[in-house]
Amino acid sequence: MRLSILAFLLSSSVGVYAEEEYYYRADYDHYPDQVCLATCEGTGSDEVCTFKFRLNQFASELGYYIVDGCEGIMPVLGMKQNVQYRFIQRDISNYYHPLGFAYLADGAHDDVDELEPSIVPDGSSSKCGDDNTCPAPMYINSGKYLGKYSNIDEVAPYNGDEDFGLDVYEPQFFASPGDWQEAGKYEVALKFDVTDFTKDIVYFCHIHQYMSGKIKWVDEAGDVLQAADDPEIPYDYERATAYDQSCGTYGVEDFKLPNAQCPTEFVCKEAGIDKFAHCVDSMNCAMTAGMTTGASSNSAKALFVHQMIPHHQNAVNMAKALLNSGDLVCNDLTEETADCTLMVVCLEIITGQNHQIQSMRGAVEELGYPGEDDCLVQVSHVSSTRRFSVESAKQFKDEKYCAQKSASSNNLVVVKCDGSQAQQFKITSDGQLKAGPIDSKLCVNAKGTKVIAARCAKGDSGTVTKSLDGGLAMVVDGETMFISLNGKNVDGEIPLKLKKTSGFKSQGWHFNYIEESNLEEEDDDGGSDSDSEEGEDDDGGSDSDSEEEGVDDD
């Protein structure tokens, strides 16, 4: 989607809550064919290689791991066998995401083998399982090893044991963010010392499923021992759209207002925080649409889950969007400033509620109910009755200019705002902008690059979307175009034109809603007025457009 190229620039925001200043870059892509090597120091048995882990919270619903020096999300890591590695998890973005290592994607989430002292790598002739000395991660907090097993003498004396520290390490990630940050410096040591095994292994999050990345074995020169992807990660990585990236959210792209399933707005008056407010509008619409569900399972448990998941998703999106806004400044989560308090709340919501979403999905699956039971409920009675003027953000000689049909043609133009019905619009249940007096059957549409008022018809190109920056976008032949001021003031009219440019700073639009009380009494009829000429999406027994004709302004 083109809508937010400008806003996209904001996605390389500074991770202000990171341990060190860090740019999230445009780390939303995944590069399956790039093998990223660690930073190594020392030689021979003294060699220690390091991968520094963080999370891009905004890359997907759950966020994805990123690794310093590696491109993209969930990078494929190249590891040498028989060499010590450290996976550093000090950055606060690792909160709630303790690393695990497994032979197949998702480890225990999917009931497959993890790297554990008692588990012999598949196909290896090693007898390491007999004395609990098989390759396994060793979990460390602030330099203190948390387990008993060891195959790295520099961390702890060699020892066969089933305890490799995970049972201490993982629970600490459930602490509050401030306590977690204060508790120490988390890292995992791993030396894979079984050398008759060349299949890929996997790093993954021990709390959240679907966050598995590949580790391939490489030789001294950094060349892979096994080119084939075996085993495969059995799912594709999600990718936040440009719009979601600009908001910091996931999955709200399709719920930009206006949307027939949502009211015309959630944030009623924007002032200076338009972009964040637009994001809130979209995510609230996603929740509103998501929280209209069926009850086909005939189960209170299923209904609870189907309703609670979109509810939780919205909490996560709101928290992510606030983090993404850059408005919170907190360098130490244990400080009791308002910003730090809110940052802790955001981090807890994102990680905890995402975890609960996965638990709830698992529960309905176990109960044999479908994961979703969505139904479409049109809120058209809300979106169809409210009328508004479309005012250009750009003023001329301090005069406000509003859109309306030209006096002399079908072209849409702006003229001085006068509050007349000619300058009133409403959004139809199809997402079109209906232009002009209450009995008008004209909708804003495109003719080439001209913006015209043409007879409303379903399924044409006239779907109008308010973009993040307050621009008005229309999709014409698959391309997003922006309604823009064009040319000179001729006889008090300035024509409009569709442009591809994203310079909508000067092309923003305000919807000035007209109070219901200023409209005609008949219009306040409980929302049953009809948008569609066919009346097919009506709720029955309602008045039609033609019946509105009797209504006129004072």
Q: Give the residues lining the site for Cu ion (CB under 5 A).
A: 97, 205, 207-208
Q: Exposed, middle or buried, 203 (CB in 10 Å: 0-12/13-18/19+)?
A: buried
CA 7 distance to own-chain centroid: 14
The nearest distance, CB 29 to Cu ion, in angstroms, is: 20
Partnered with residue 138 across adjacent β-strands are 189
Q: Based on CB atoms, which residue is closest to Cu ion, 208 or 256?
A: 208
Peptide bond into 231 cis (omega under 30): yes
Q: Based on CB atoms, which residue is closest to Cu ion, 309 or 403?
A: 309
The H or E element that residue 476 is part of is strand 472-476
Residue showing tokens 């406000």: 400
Taking a C-beta distance cutoff of 8 angstroms, is the pair 445, 454 a contact?
Answer: yes
Q: Based on CB atoms, which residue is closest to Cu ion, 95 or 145?
A: 95
Q: How far apart, in Å, are the Cα atoms of 142 and each of 169, 182, 207, 334, 545?
A: 11, 10, 21, 18, 71
**One-letter amino acid for residue 182 of the chain:** E
Q: Based on CB atoms, which residue is closest to Cu ion, 211 or 302?
A: 211
Q: Based on CB atoms, which residue is closest to Cu ion, 108 or 407?
A: 108
Q: How far apart, in Å, are the Cα atoms of 514 and each of 111, 304, 385, 395, 464?
A: 58, 38, 10, 20, 19
The nearest distance, CB 546 to Cu ion, in angstroms, is: 58
Q: Based on CB atoms, which residue is closest to Cu ion, 88 or 205?
A: 205
Give the C-alpha separation, 211 to 203, whole Å: 8
Q: Helix H segments across 131-258?
A: 166-172, 177-183, 242-247
The nearest distance, CB 149 to Cu ion, in angstroms, is: 24
- 3-state SS, one letter per residue, for 385-418: HCCEEEEECCCECCECEEEEECCCCCEEEEEECC
Residue showing tokens 């924007």: 270
The nearest distance, CB 36 to Cu ion, in angstroms, is: 20
Q: Based on CB atoms, which residue is closest to Cu ion, 63 or 251?
A: 63
Residue showing tokens 């850059």: 326
Q: Based on CB atoms, which residue is closest to Cu ion, 177 or 258?
A: 177
The nearest distance, CB 209 to Cu ion, in angstroms, is: 9
> Shortest CA distance to 537 belongs to which of 420, 387, 431, 409?
431
CA 263-265-270 angle, to 5 degrees, is 170
The nearest distance, CB 112 to Cu ion, in angstroms, is: 17
Give the C-alpha separation, 371 to 384, whole Å: 32
Give the C-alpha separation, 291 to 354, whole Å: 17
Taking a C-beta distance cutoff of 8 angstroms, is the pair 429, 386 a contact?
Answer: no
The nearest distance, CB 360 to Cu ion, in angstroms, is: 16
Taking a C-beta distance cutoff of 8 angstroms, is the pair 76, 161 a contact?
Answer: no
SS3 256: coil
Q: Based on CB atoms, which residue is closest to Cu ion, 96 or 149?
A: 96
Taking a C-beta distance cutoff of 8 angstroms, is the pair 497, 481 a contact?
Answer: no
The nearest distance, CB 212 to Cu ion, in angstroms, is: 11
- 3-state SS, one letter per residue, for 102-153: ECCCCHHHHCCCECCCCCCCCCCCCCHHHHCCCCCCEEEECCEECCCCECCC
CA 311-475-493 angle, to 5 degrees, is 115
The nearest distance, CB 234 to Cu ion, in angstroms, is: 18
The nearest distance, CB 350 to Cu ion, in angstroms, is: 10
The nearest distance, CB 403 to Cu ion, in angstroms, is: 48
The nearest distance, CB 100 to Cu ion, in angstroms, is: 10
CA 141-326-281 angle, to 5 degrees, is 115
Q: How far apart, in Å, are the Cα atoms of 83 and each of 38, 135, 140?
A: 11, 12, 17
The nearest distance, CB 45 to Cu ion, in angstroms, is: 33
Q: Based on CB atoms, which residue is closest to Cu ion, 211 or 283?
A: 211
The nearest distance, CB 178 to Cu ion, in angstroms, is: 19
Residue showing tokens 């006068």: 418
Q: Based on CB atoms, which residue is closest to Cu ion, 109 or 208?
A: 208
Q: Based on CB atoms, which residue is closest to Cu ion, 205 or 364?
A: 205
Q: Based on CB atoms, which residue is closest to Cu ion, 95 or 388?
A: 95
Q: Based on CB atoms, which residue is closest to Cu ion, 158 or 235?
A: 235
Structure tokens, 312: 């939780």
